[in-house]
Structure 1
Amino acid sequence: MSIISLIIKREFIAKVRNKSFIVMTFLSPLLFVGIAVFVGYLSSMKADTKKVAIHDETGLFANEFKALNSKDGEYVYQDLSSIDIKSLKDSITKESYEGLLYIPKVTNDKDLENKIQFISNESPSISFIENVQDIIAKKLTKDNFEKAKLDTLAIKNAEAKVNISLAKASGEESLKGLNEIKIAIGGAFGYLIMMFIIIYGNMVMRSVIEEKTNRIVEIIISSVKPFQLMMGKIIGTSLAGLLQFFIWAIIGLTLMIAASAFLGIDASPVAKLPPTIIQNAHQEFTGTAQMYIKELWGLPIATILISFVIYFIGGYFLYSSFYASIGAAVDNETDSQQFLLPIIMPLILAVYIGFFTVINDPHGTIATVFSMIPLTSPIVMLMRIPFGVPWWQLAISIALLFGTFFFVVWFAAKIYRVGILMYGKKPTWKELYKWLKY
């Protein structure tokens, strides 16, 4: 058996036998499910009812307000126009009410547009203010139509509602929201790669630091080359990580199936609807669902899966080389922070470019360029692939990724070779550059 194979086996066994690895492998899915259930429970809870006082001196709007549901909870409006405005303001100060909607009396309804006030101790949410403004604006508009002797029913019937249908150049019908589905698929794969790189790249770095601190590495280096040790650590840790991800996938799928079987779907409200409505809704939903499924099957699924594996391997090996060299250069994790930021920034940049640029212009200059740059291509290119990417762009991107990986391994091995035996001194970027020349 080769030396690298022995190091890989050693690193793999050391990781999977670690108590924290075993505990987190089985505890993490339960934590994620628990958090999801807890968030779902919180979202289903009703927010506290908030009372809002109305002092309407015009007498036009008090009846227009009813209980409104908003993101901040349920607002209940009380018409207190008969109570003195000063007393109401004192009630707001004592927090008896969430706020006071003050509508003054004016000679011209036009003046009301800028004279209505909402008085409260704390600033209200934007959605609440927009709801109030919308109610008042509709009432004023209706009154203006009546004063102008316009037929409000005819105006309402004259309002146009446009629904644009989508179609492909080939003549097939298309669907709305497909871009969002495509970016979600690519984003899920890209985000998975990023998390794997960060979690297990740090694991590689900590392993190097631990052996360096315990002086074990001095004994190991006497038998193997630094490059072999670095590659063995990277591959061994990645195999342990893949095993953990595989176990998470099995546990997560099992929990989802168990939750679906245990909770089920409450169809009682649907059963109370008339049979014709249920039948029409079912036919419409079935037709739309079939079209979405057809579109999803039309995606380059094989290309997505194969590219995910390739970029997964290339991206992890590329960044793990950086992590290993940092671990060799420092004596503790605190000293590593100054070197980690430049490594993490390209990953964060790739996520932002993917979600804010690829979704709007997947074949644009920015998306194309960053899908070629090796430090960002594992994430950006995976987000572009569901939209269709020419084979030559994929070939160039993969070639640059693995070419950069071999180059990074070469200079990371130089830093690793020197830094692995350096103790008691905090390295600088200038010293790291000098190590490359040794």
Structure 2
Amino acid sequence: MSPPASSTYLRRLGTWDAAMIVIGGVIGAGIFRTPATIAERTGSGWQVLVLWTIGGLLTLAGALCYAELGARRPQAGGTYVYLREAFGKLPAFLFGWTMALINYPGSVAAVATTFADYLCAALGFPTLLVKPLAVGAIAFIVGVNLFGIRAGAWLQNVFALLKLAAIAVLLMAGLVLAYRAQGLAWTQAPPRPLPPGAWFGALLPVLFTYGGFHYLNDLAGEVRAPQRTLPRALGLGLTGVMLCYVLVNGAYLAGLGHAGLAASHAPAAELMQRWLGPRGATWMALGIACSSFGYCSIAIAGGARVLQTMGADGMFFSAVGRIDPHTRAPQVALATLGAWAIVLTLSGSFGQLLDYTTVGEWLAHACGIGTLFWYRRHAGEPAPYRVPGYPWLPLAFVGTVIAVIVATAIDAPGQAGMSLVIIALGVPVYYAWCWVERQVGG
């Protein structure tokens, strides 16, 4: 029996909105800080640009796989839905347990705090206002999304354009500084050879910075003509992100040089300060604040749809599974996710939670792409969109993700171990929840 029309989502997102969600979900605060880490682990500017290009192509492969999955099952919930259909309710619950209840709100808390940090630095506010501003940002984003996906998309589009504007300013700064130096600073130093193993170690933070493309699939139930729009938006959005990332790193290298970038703690602010002085650093702090705010908007919207789908499946409280008949927004799920993110923000415990769920997040990506093989084998209907290069493209992405997980476990065994413990704790919770549901239902 299908649900009544008033309890379902409305397809209101076009290609532009969907592409902005992809861009906004990937570009957060990382691109303004992570490049220094990559430069520190490499021996030349060319190696930096090659790594960002490789990372972008690998992530694009994953996005194209998610495009087929979204076209096959254009429903809210994304990876949760794919895992439920392919592997059953337990793996789907473990995904929701790890991501929607821990990783998503932890990410929101962390990035909202980053937003407040940079906003206070830009406006000269005292640091004691960081937590109130972070809480206010989360509450404001939840409040806007309560009015429906169009209001949330409007907010996201504005901040996606602002973060693209910040990137454009960085590109201009790099060109100006390169012109002043009469050449690109990063081509003037001799390259240092990089051992094969070091390439992979430098690729890890690149891949983490490209993460977040899956949020659009969480919102697939509200995308118009999803079989056509999802592949277009994911392909265009990730291509745009890769172009931005490579160009921004070129700007860092042009203005700071490879050695300067490797030694910098805040390359974006330093680049702007070299160009415009203290005023430039202030403007960049505002740009990073806008970029962080936009990411929070997408993470809250996407995470709430996963929670709502779990509630509708009986895998979470039934009230969370309701969709408001007037706004067609999962209002209870939005409020629940927002409230938990605020608790994490005030407690300051989000840092450890994110560290502990990193492996779980990448494992979810691998399992999500893995469902593509199940759909190709068992789904009777023809796919409206088929990822090119199957099975090699999804295999390349899954293999890379597994390598990332292994490398993370070697580099930080404690964090990886805790991540697996958190996932495993979901197993007794799942069976306890099913037992309670049977008792209540019986």
TM-score by length of 2: 0.27
More helix by share: 2
**Higher RCO, 1 vs 2 (CA within 8 Å, ≥6 residues apart):** 2
Please identify the structure whose Cα radius of gyration is greater.
1
More strand by share: 1
